[in-house]
Every structure is written in structure tokens, then in C-alpha cells.
Amino acid sequence: MIKKTIILSIVIFIAYNVLLLLKHPVTGPGQHQWQKNRILIEDYVDYHEGVPVVIVGTSLSARLYPSLLPSGYFNLALAGESIFDGLEIVKKSTKKPEYILVETNIFYKKPDKDLSEGVFNPMMLWIRKYIPSFREENQPANLLPPLIAKAGKGEAVNTNSADTAILNTLLKQKVADYQQVPDSVTMTENLKLLKDYIRDFQAKGIKVVLYEIPVNCKLYQTPRYLVPKQKLTAAFPDRYFQWLSMPDCSAYQYGDGEHLALESSVKFVDWFVKALHQSGVKP
């Protein structure tokens, strides 16, 4: 009985991997934030190294959805993580991009040194390539929700009927949160770290463009925005570093004061790509 169970398990494991190698159309989206980030990292390292333009940022830039970006762009913005996690992944990659676009809104968040652990291990690179069930996106529990969704009679419709009162409450809370200035020591350390990354990339012939994601206009007059912005501008003057121009914050709507609403994500990406092309970023 035990022998039959082992044999059956091996057969199922092989069959599952064969299906994955045949590019089964269902791909797992990730069950939680860490797994979603891991899927994104593996996707970049395994399939997209060397893409001309890489976006590095936080959850603010994660709203620049891949479906909205033109060919030649890869969004490596990691929700809940720092910009340095994405920068480190690009740094460790074998093939480098022509351009790295770095979001600067939340430069003061510390990096997560464990996030990409094992991703660049030569053995794991080989295993993920030939035994795809080891990829985060192909975990059985992760594939089940998309399969169920496909089996359903139709897709849920997003009406975007946001409650104005709730949005106003969220904005008030965000304004209150922005009264707190980030830790000064961490800001100083991260500014130096960012400068080190940029110089390292520039030495390899990679062009780095700094940009800000727009947030609700009320946040621009708060200490949490003004103090980091002053330090950032002093550390990275535009005469030495390439900055993308700032868009009009009032042209967009926000889900919580910080993150772009879906319709505004579409609008901002259109502006973003055009502004990049005008500044010389043309993959």
C-alpha cells in the first residue's frame, strides 16, 4: 500500500510538471503579499532579465500594472517592501537593463534582506526552469483559485462605486499619519545607499531616472512629505541626476490618499510613458 502511494505520488508530480512545461494557461496570482512579490521576483530573474526598462518602487508604483505598460518595460515594484529590494535584484541579475526608473516617494523604508533569498542560487535557477512546480506561481494551492474562477459562469464586474465618506475618512487618517517625520538616521543611511546603487549602475552604463508617484494634493504640505523631499533634493540635485518632471496631483484620484485609483492608474501610466519618452527613455 505504501509503495503504491509513493508510485502514485511520483506519477502525479511528473504529470503536474509536464503540464506546467507545456505552458498550461492558468497561472497562480499569489495568495498573500510575500508570495506575490516572490512570484514577481522569480518572473523577472527567470524570464525578463535584460528587459530595456525596469521600474523599481513600492506599493505606490505597483499600481503601474504590466497590462498598461508598453513593450520593453518590466515593473519590479514590490508591495510592502522598499525600493532597495528591487535595486538589489537588478544588481544581482546577470543581464542588466538600459534604464532603471526609481520611485523616490518612500525612500526611507529599510530593505528586506531575506526577500530574494535563494532566488539566484544556481541550483534553484535550474530547478525552476526544468521542474516548474518549484516556482511560487505554480504551487497547487495558488493555482486553485484561478481554476475555480475559469470554471465559473462569468467574471465579477467591478463597479468602482467607492463610498465617498469612506474615502474621506481614509484621507483624513493618511493626513494624520503624514504628520510624523520618518527617522532621520534611516533617511540619511538610505540616501547614501541609494547613491551607492546609482553610481554602481551608472558605472555599468545603466541610466537611472528618479521619479515620484503623485499622491493626494493635501499630503504635499505635511512634514512626512516635506522633510524627506528636502533631504532627497539636496542629496540628488537635478544638475547631476536625471529626474522626471512632477505631474499635477489634482489630475488623479486616490483610493486612500496615497495609492492611485484604477482609472487614475491608466491615466498616469499614459502620462508617465510619454514624459519618459520626452526625457529620452526609449526602449
Confidence band, pLDDT 50/70/90 cuts, at residue 228: very high
- Mean pLDDT value across residues 255-277: 95
Closest CA to 245 of 279, 218, 221, 270: 279
The Cα 260–Cα 62 span in angstroms is: 10
Kindly state the DSSP code that residue 14 receives in the 8-state scheme: H
**pLDDT > 90 in the chain, percent:** 62
Confidence at 60, pLDDT banded by 50, 70, 90: very high
Identity (one letter) of the amino acid at 177?
D
User: 193 in helix, strand or coil?
Assistant: helix
Q: Which residue spans within the chain are E strands per DSSP?
A: 53-56, 73-75, 99-103, 207-211, 242-243
Least confident of 78-82, 127-131, 148-152: 148-152
Distances (CA, A) of 55 to 187, 230, 246: 21, 23, 17
Higher confidence at residue 22 or residue 117? 117
Q: At residue 129, does pLDDT exceed 90?
A: no
Per cent of the chain over pLDDT 70 is 72
CA distances from 77 to 8, 141, 186 (A): 41, 24, 21
Question: Which of 115-124, 149-158, 234-243, 258-267 has the least mean pLDDT?
Answer: 149-158
Q: How sure is the predictor about 20, in pLDDT bands with cuts at 50, 70 and 90?
A: very low
CA distance linking residue 275 with residue 108, whole number of Å: 26
* Single-letter amino acid code for the residue at 93: S
Burial call 109-144: b when 16+ CB within 10 Å, e when fewer:
bebbeebbeebeeeebbeebeebbbbbbbbbeebbe
The predicted structure's pLDDT at residue 282: 84
Residue 226 CA to residue 110 CA, distance in Å, equals 19
For residue 228, give the amino acid letter. Answer: P
pLDDT of residue 164: 82
Measure the CA–CA gap between 32 and 143, rounded to whole angstroms: 13
Residues 208-224: pLDDT tens digits? 999 999 999 999 999 99
pLDDT of residue 283: 80
- Cα(195)–Cα(238) distance, rounded to whole angstroms? 13
